[in-house]
Chains A and B, each alone.
Chain A
């Protein structure tokens, strides 16, 4: 009796394991992306048009993704790292150099995003979405100026104990280093870096959480303020319109996430098809409409939702446009210090 069970169990298990390989006629594609960042309708459309069966696994931070891929044996084909991490992926040989002949739609990329410092000429990645990191705050709790880093670094009493900071190193340091006087996020001025570390450590007791995926928590009133990305903040506002998104006037990071094909991908051809797919204007718009971030594809405008056109999270207010700084990879020593500050904060 139990032998039959074992055999049945093993048989089913073997079937399941090979199911993903035998799947659809078109084969399969395994995408590893940020959570809540890929429009399910887009996936459906892709699957229908190509017959490729897609799996989507998500991660919450650049570090998690990098660690996972470096450990090996992951089975993914596509990954979507942020710009500041792309050089690390390239240097470690983790992503493929792209054959542009297989990506006809690559000419759709907005020229300003083609020769980017982290990937000149787009040799390894194509744009996914881009945005800014700032602060989000509940105006029914706090009635002051939202465009300041003090909201989480030096919070007023009504916000203390109700703040969340996304535990993403480059985003948070991108705000804090500028806020304590650094002119450049990648400065190697020890005094500035020490001030940044001190400011963070001093502010932490006032925070309630250091968590991702908190749209729900903001809308439900568990949190009243925090550091957050613009698109996620827009979702918060749509759920509870007391919230506004603030651009810290001392400086805020602009980031871009980019799709790449993993060096040990099993389904390289399918990955190319997908990358080409997302560079079509209407598909880029689908990505934007879902995640609420801007894309880098020319011609996607007409396909975007109405409320994206002039949303304050997308259109940077007058006077604050200049203080945004694109988040890039810093030199190895500075990176080390950043990592150490970060671990000290997180502990």
Chain B
């Protein structure tokens, strides 16, 4: 009996070793070219900035200090780094609004596709994802061409006589929102659709049978059932949105900085690598916090769900 147990344990150990071996190459690549370098970021956030970029290998908490506080150049008063906090707030705010917009647009779209005959659904999905397969820079460029002062929307509005001089859309927060919603929309539609496809329509029918009108069925039956899809979609949109770089850079005109732009700035004109590193880690913390929050919400809801 114990012999059998021994062989079983040996086999299991072999199995575990084999599994680790199979994972090893992937992990090595990831450690070298993704996770490992993050440790360097942590290190750099604790050093002193060099005069024209780079770092001086001298311990300093100035980088972290400057993330939240600022010292006036001329009278040395310490205060909150208002500009940074503005940018934090703008990034979170814009990411949240983008998530909202994609949810508002994405929900009907996903529902529409989910209620098509099964044979045509892949085609609709295909149509939704095509823009996603276009290059990110090109997509942002396309939005720029549509919303700029001599662009499609302004030209149409002027031709229709609704406005007489172009509305400034480019280089505003609005432009960034449009750009991000455009880029991340498929990421919301797909998980929502996945949830809706698994929806048991008999429950919906039951709702109607019980004399609920469409709105109530939507609110009390459909929405709770597709919550997992919502959560997944929200994460998939919020996280890239808050760390967005290309879209705010092209559509924001260098004035409406988001965290990604602020970080990159420190490695260029800002000449403060430690601050850049500290900001990058702060962004990471915000992302992890958001993830934990979302996952908690998902677990709590699915725990309380019946049926």
Contact = CB atoms under 8 A, between A and B. Distances in A.
Contact of B253 (A63, A208, A344): A208
Contact of A208 (B54, B73, B166, B168): B168
Interface stretch (A160-168, A283-291, A300-308, A318-326): A160-168
Given A197-B73, A209-B254, A342 B149 contact: no
A64 interface: yes
Nearest to B256: A209
Given A220-B148, A341-B73, A63 B170 contact: no
B171 A222 contact: yes
A346 B150 CA distance: 28
B144 to A, nearest CB: 9
Contact of A220 (B53, B74, B84, B149): B149
Interface string B262-298: 1001011111100000000000000000000000000
Interface in A197-231: 197, 204, 207-211, 217, 220-222
Nearest to A62: B269
B73 A209 contact: no
Nearest to B150: A220
Contacts of A96: none
Interface residues of A, number: 38
A306 to B, nearest CB: 29
Contact of B53 (A66, A162, A167, A347): A66
Given A66-B53, A193-B74, A340-B73, A61 B268 contact: yes
* Secondary structure dominating the interface of B: loop
A209 B150 contact: no
B148 A343 contact: no
Given A70-B53, A193-B74, A164 B269 contact: no
Contact of B74 (A161, A162, A190, A332): A190
A63 B52 contact: yes
Interface residues of B, number: 31
A169 interface: yes
Contacts of A169: 269
Contacts of B149: 220-222
A147 B35 CA distance: 53
B87 interface: yes
A210 B253 contact: yes
Interface string B165-195: 0101011000000000000000000000000
A222 B166 CA distance: 9
A162 B168 contact: yes
Interface string A56-83: 0000010110110011000000000000
A114 interface: no
A309 interface: no
Interface string A75-101: 000000000000010001000000000
B255 interface: yes
Contact of A209 (B53, B171, B268, B269): B171
A129 B295 CA distance: 57
B268 A64 contact: yes
Contacts of B148: 217, 220, 222
A12 interface: no
Nearest to B275: A343
B83 interface: yes
Contact of A207 (B150, B255, B272): B255
B277 to A, nearest CB: 13
B108 interface: no
A209 B253 contact: yes
> Which 5 A-B pairs have CB atoms at the shortest separation, nearest pair first?
A209-B253, A347-B83, A67-B53, A210-B254, A211-B254
Interface of A: 61, 63-64, 66-67, 70-71, 88, 92, 161-162, 164, 167, 169, 190, 193-194, 197, 204, 207-211, 217, 220-222, 332, 337, 339-344, 346-347
6 contacts: A63-B52, A63-B268, A193-B74, A220-B148, A347-B83, A347-B262
